[in-house]
């Protein structure tokens, strides 16, 4: 996969040179490039922003440097993602879709926002959540991280993201590692039993319990199996006692 990021703060993306995403670049599973659109400004001062027509607070990104920088990028530009707090809220499902694409282009807004005509370049307007960031860079970094880790071979074992929260529509069950007893806090017995079927059932039940408690909205749209329905009945009975 190729990822191109239009930004006036390319150095902010150095963070992607570390950890799993850094390794994915080393293994050439993904190629990440930044394009500083200030370099494309045609005015003498290299300004990339100007006052909004009609008045109002703040400055807006000019269309010209962004259009020219976008046109300098080679490749199919399969998805062009504009970071915007008014966009569609980013989800694991979106990360799964993006991970299938040949090339992603991110456009990072800054200041008070951008000239609306920039949207003519865009296939997806995406928000990281219901809050306002200084610029689109932090949002792009999170989306790139969530997407690249889903590319096959990026994580050590192919299966290691399949049980992540949201991947199967539920929140992940609690996990434990050594020691079995730490300062009097012990690991649930079933996890040290070696009984794989019982462990599977316990994990499914705890995954359902956590989802029911924290994100009941996820269960509303979930196709529950008979086993899950029975486990939810058991959880409800436990809560009633």
Range 59-78, binding ligand SAM (CB under 6 A) = none
The answer to whether residue 164 is catalytic is yes
User: Smallest distance, Å, CB 126 to ligand SAM?
Assistant: 7
Rg of the chain in Å (alpha carbons):
23
The answer to whether residue 215 is catalytic is no
Catalytic residue among 97, 164, 172, 174: 164
Task: Answer yes or no whether residue 112 interacts with ligand SAM by CB under 6 A.
Answer: yes
Task: Answer yes or no whether residue 91 interacts with ligand SAM by CB under 6 A.
Answer: no
* Residue (80 or 208) nearer to ligand SAM, CB: 80
Which residue shows structure tokens 């993006």?
98
* Alpha-carbon separation of residue 229 from 170, 204, 205 (angstroms): 14, 11, 10
Catalytic residue among 65, 85, 137, 206: 85
User: Smallest distance, Å, CB 191 to ligand SAM?
Assistant: 38
Task: Answer yes or no whether residue 12 interacts with ligand SAM by CB under 6 A.
Answer: no
Task: Answer yes or no whether residue 129 interacts with ligand SAM by CB under 6 A.
Answer: yes
Question: Which residues form the interface with ligand SAM (CB under 6 A)?
Answer: 83-86, 108-110, 112-114, 127-129, 131-136, 139
Active site positions, annotated: 85, 112, 149, 164
């Amino acid at each position: 996969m190729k990822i191109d990021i239009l930004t006036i703060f390319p150095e902010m993306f150095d963070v992607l040179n570390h950890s799993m995403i850094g390794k994915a670049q080393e293994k050439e599973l993904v190629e990440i490039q930044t394009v500083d659109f200030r370099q494309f400004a045609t005015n003498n001062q290299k300004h990339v922003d100007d006052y909004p027509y009609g008045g109002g607070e703040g400055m807006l990104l000019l269309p010209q440097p962004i259009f020219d920088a976008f046109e300098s990028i080679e490749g199919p530009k399969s998805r062009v993602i504009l970071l915007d707090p008014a966009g569609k809220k980013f989800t694991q499902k979106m990360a799964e879709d993006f991970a299938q694409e040949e090339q992603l282009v991110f456009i990072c807004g800054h200041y008070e926002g951008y000239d609306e005509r920039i949207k003519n370049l865009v296939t997806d307007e995406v928000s990281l959540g219901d809050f306002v960031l200084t610029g689109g860079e932090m949002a792009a970094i999170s989306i790139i991280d969530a997407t690249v880790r889903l590319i096959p071979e990026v994580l050590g074992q192919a299966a290691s993201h399949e049980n992540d929260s949201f991947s199967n529509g539920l929140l992940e069950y609690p996990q434990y590692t050594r020691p079995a007893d730490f300062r009097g806090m012990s690991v649930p017995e079933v996890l040290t039993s070696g009984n794989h079927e019982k462990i599977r059932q316990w994990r499914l039940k705890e995954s359902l319990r956590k989802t029911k408690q924290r994100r009941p909205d996820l269960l509303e749209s979930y196709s529950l199996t008979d086993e899950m329905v029975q486990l939810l009945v058991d959880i409800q009975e436990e809560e009633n006692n």
